[in-house]
Structure 1
């Protein structure tokens, strides 16, 4: 790979390989505002890319030149999804839905979720938990002005948001996944509900409804863990369900980490500031996370399938936690 032409051909092939689901020539032409023929000329190396074109390609496709030339083994390129004025909660929900659906388009796919908080997919099959978690995130993270200093009102969560939440659950239900929980995983949502109840944001009836759905969630998770597949709360809904494995880790989990294997590709997502996302397909980083997951699994207790004793202990402890939480709240 000595000439500029050879480097360019290899670079564009590398970018294309990282984006196999795109019609690369069409997208390249649209990005650079050139014809499809001109795009092919660049892919063949007949026309050399300008510095500005290389910049556009690198930014648009998330293709780090450092990674391509192996200039720095200590640098990892992440793509960010950051909630702000121009990227609101509904945009976040739609991006999650798009990501889960993208995974499901692969021939072979699997998700591993190391959960500091209950994975949001689980909330999205219960209407009141969906509304409350959406409300809480919008009020506390986005600082939505319309929700400031006002009691909780489920009606502020739009029909569109609820439809996207429901669609996320439906897409996630088909994805084979493994989740690793700790004692803290369940506590975060309980503390959020408690805080809103203690400060008068939630009235007592709303509090009771949410606690009831928390119990329903525990009950359905126990059945999912026992049968090894995901379930819809309504038994009449015969939906294709993905495999489900649940593990319990006694050591507190530091953050939410999601690992995807998709055919021969790997991707890692990490959350920060609760909802903001960082994602990367960097091979070395993904391999490191894959090893980390194997290490955690070796120190975790399987709750699923044949592990009846551990499963009963785990869910009895979770129910006792909810009972104590409800008693303390009065």
Structure 2
């Protein structure tokens, strides 16, 4: 009896995760690499899925095992610790980027895809296409990590494949059907302060500082254009809000027809993620609630928009 319930719970969880157009049996054959008849025996309940098979399905489709067995712990959620290893930082960081890019590719045509983020730093969805800014983000983390040898910004070389993957990541975000950005009004101040600190201890040259400054101005131009247009390059909706209160952290969510993903930024470049539905619902409600403290500057609020970006240019100009 219990085995049948577990089998049914697993099948129902997979059905919820797969797009309606996908054939359940074919999808499971591709995931488990077993024959059609063996799959149908499992779907009919004649043969139960093994624990190993359930684990493979969980990993491939991002379904939590508690969801499969029909258990819900309201006070608990399973998180994926996307922590960049200090042993091989570039390889580990690239692996995380690659996983996120694959996810964006999989939802590229999904008309129900949405992203919401409340940021106290410049969102990486916008900054990763800029070589020096993305390099500085990594440099700051690597310098702080005592297990990584990183002495000078100029000496740090970013692998070309990582540069290309970062730009691919940034480009794919424009295909998300709806994006809500809620920005802390200090996002540029925080970054400028960080750059100034590393310049003051002579780890960033004047030449590199000027290049970072130039990219920041280009980023401000892009952000202002995006907010005035209210559309991504792919023609999808983008709403930008400036918060009148400061944020203690950066929170984000990605929702699609088959995925509900929550992200919390930790340790500078890392994030923890979960596909727990309760966590997603709570995080989305929290981010959306911040709009009551914020001013919409995309396609409206022209005076506030002009004022905000003028202030950001003044902040960057002191570099």
d(CA) in 2 for partners of 1:57 and 1:127?
37
- Would the aligned equivalents of 1:29 and 1:36 in 2 still touch at CA under 8 Å? yes
TM-score normalised by the chain length of structure 1: 0.82
Q: What is the CA-CA distance between 1:19 and the residue it aligns to?
A: 4.6
User: Which sections of structure 1, spanning at least 5 residues, go unmatched?
Assistant: 231-238
Cα 1:66–1:110 change in 2 (3 A) is: closer
Matched, 1:317 2:311: yes
| 1:16-55 correspondence to structure 2 within 5 Å | 16-20=15-19, 25=25, 28=28, 34-51=34-51, 53-54=53-54
What root-mean-square deviation, in Å, do the aligned CA atoms of Structure 1 and Structure 2 show? Answer: 2.9
Q: What is the CA-CA distance between 1:122 and the residue it aligns to?
A: 1.6
Cα 1:25–1:137 change in 2 (3 A) is: farther
Which stretch of structure 1 is more off in the superposition, 73-82 or 259-268?
259-268
TM-score normalised by the chain length of structure 2: 0.85
Correspondence for 1:288 among 282, 289, 294: 282
Q: Secondary structure in 1 aligned to 2:186?
A: helix
Map of 1:210 onto structure 2: 212
Matched, 1:160 2:161: yes
Q: 1:207-255 CA distances to partner (integer Å, 9 max, x unpaired)? A: 111112111211221121111124xxxxxxxx53433221011221122
d(CA) in 1 for partners of 2:267 and 2:22?
31
- Would the aligned equivalents of 2:138 and 2:269 in 1 still touch at CA under 8 Å? no
Which stretch of structure 1 is more off in the superposition, 48-57 or 270-279?
48-57
d(CA) in 2 for partners of 1:110 and 1:71?
25
Map of 1:121 onto structure 2: 125
Q: What is the CA-CA distance between 1:16 and the residue it aligns to?
A: 4.1
| 1:48-87 correspondence to structure 2 within 5 Å | 48-51=48-51, 53-54=53-54, 57-58=57-58, 61-67=61-67, 68-84=69-85, 85=87
- Would the aligned equivalents of 1:151 and 1:200 in 2 still touch at CA under 8 Å? no
Matched, 1:103 2:103: no
Matched, 1:91 2:85: no
Map of 1:269 onto structure 2: 263
d(CA) in 2 for partners of 1:109 and 1:31?
24
d(CA) in 2 for partners of 1:313 and 1:217?
16
Q: 1:134-171 CA distances to partner (integer Å, 9 max, x unpaired)? A: 443444459543xx2234246x1122121112211211
Which stretch of structure 1 is more off in the superposition, 206-215 or 185-194?
185-194
Map of 1:302 onto structure 2: 296
Q: What is the CA-CA distance between 1:190 and the residue it aligns to?
A: 1.5
Q: What is the CA-CA distance between 1:263 and the residue it aligns to?
A: 3.0
Map of 2:230 onto structure 1: 228
**Bigger RCO (CA 8 Å, 6+ sep):** 2
User: Which sections of structure 2, spanning at least 5 residues, go unmatched?
Assistant: none
d(CA) in 1 for partners of 2:146 and 2:34?
39
Correspondence for 1:133 among 125, 131, 137: 137
- Would the aligned equivalents of 1:5 and 1:46 in 2 still touch at CA under 8 Å? no
Q: Secondary structure in 1 aligned to 2:245?
A: coil
Q: Secondary structure in 2 aligned to 1:90?
A: helix
- Would the aligned equivalents of 2:127 and 2:134 in 1 still touch at CA under 8 Å? yes
Cα 1:265–1:55 change in 2 (3 A) is: closer
Aligned residues: 313
- Would the aligned equivalents of 1:184 and 1:253 in 2 still touch at CA under 8 Å? no
Cα 1:170–1:218 change in 2 (3 A) is: same
d(CA) in 2 for partners of 1:136 and 1:208?
17
- Would the aligned equivalents of 1:9 and 1:44 in 2 still touch at CA under 8 Å? no
Q: What is the CA-CA distance between 1:46 and the residue it aligns to?
A: 0.8
d(CA) in 2 for partners of 1:88 and 1:265?
24
Map of 1:253 onto structure 2: 247
Map of 1:233 onto structure 2: none
